[in-house]
Amino acid sequence: MIAWLDNADTPFPPPEQALVQPDGLLAAGGGLSPQRLLSAYRQGIFPWYNPGEPVLWWSPNPRCTIRPSDLHISRRLRKQILNEDYTVTFDRAFIDVIKACAAPRPQQSGTWISTEIMAAYTQLHHRGIAHSVEVWRDSRLIGGLYGLGIGSLFFGESMFSRADNASKIAFSYLCVQLQQWQFQLIDCQVYNSHLESLGAGLMPRNEFLGLLARHLDDPEPETWQFSVDARQVAGKTV
């Protein structure tokens, strides 16, 4: 059985109480207020559910993560980065990015990013907590990602591409910029081969929670702007 969160004030159970199958399912209900979401992320918990369902909260074990310095850039991706036929920005089009992430994808009938999710994370963006990375070509948005920055940790939520490797370019720029800012970790939540190709791996939940406890209150960047260039990203030199 999982815990039911009656209202916004009901606390989460400890992440260690999450189910083994399905991996990490911890609780349901409670809504998506900014306070609820921040409480969740600070405890290593995130929402993931289908539209029309109660909010479901997860803390899987192991956790998919990447340290910014562990970014892997393939030869092909490095060539695309150095080509510089694009521009990368922070927070220029958050709403457009989350809408693009919510759009149906090939071989998928729907999306878990509902209007409720979009509204909740947009509130966090207006508070300076949720951030987007945009990749532009000829003033057209071709890729990007969004997530939360808390302390020296980044909690990735979703990414999209409308051009070859555009989401990987966004992720690569993010990793190298976060490394420059001395961020400790990017939480990728759940494993997939796309993230693995960029250097992500699995971390035991107790190790992940220990990193959160040590780094959630680290100083944060004053402004989210890129200061790294294509050569730094391609060479991962900061």
Instruction: List the chain pLDDT tens, one digit each, 238 residues.
Output: 899 998 878 999 999 999 999 999 999 999 999 999 999 999 999 999 998 899 999 999 999 999 999 999 999 999 999 999 999 999 999 999 999 999 987 655 457 899 999 999 999 999 999 999 999 999 999 999 999 999 999 999 999 999 999 999 999 999 999 999 999 999 999 998 989 999 999 999 999 999 999 999 999 999 999 999 999 999 965 5
- Asked if 155 contacts 38 with a C-beta cutoff of 8 angstroms, the reply is no
Q: Which amino acid is at 51?
A: P
pLDDT score at 11: 95
| The pLDDT value given to residue 184 | 98
Task: Decide: 168 and 81 in contact? Cβ < 8 Å.
Answer: no
Q: Which CATH number is correct for 3-61, 3.30.70.3550, 3.40.50.720, 3.50.50.60, 1.25.40.10?
A: 3.30.70.3550
CB of 205 within 8 A of CB of 44?
A: yes
- The domain spans of the chain are 3-61, 64-235
CA distance 137 to 163: 9
For residue 54, what pLDDT is reported?
Answer: 93
What's the pLDDT at 9?
83
The first and second tokens of residue 115, run together, are 């209007």
Matching CATH number, 64-235, of 3.40.50.1000, 3.40.630.70, 3.30.420.40, 3.40.50.10490: 3.40.630.70
Residue with tokens 């699995």: 202
What per-residue confidence (pLDDT) applies to 1? 86
Strand partners, 134: 89, 144
Helix (H) or strand (E) holding 57: strand 56-58
pLDDT of residue 112: 81
CA pair distance 117, 47, nearest whole angstrom? 9
Query: What CA–CA distance (Å, rounded) separates 229 from 25?
Result: 40
Residue by residue, DSSP assigns 122-190 as HHHHHTT-EEEEEEEETTEEEEEEEEEEETTEEEEEEEEESSTTHHHHHHHHHHHHHHHTT--EEEEES
- The amino acid sitting at 220 is E
Q: Is the pTM of this model over 0.85?
A: yes
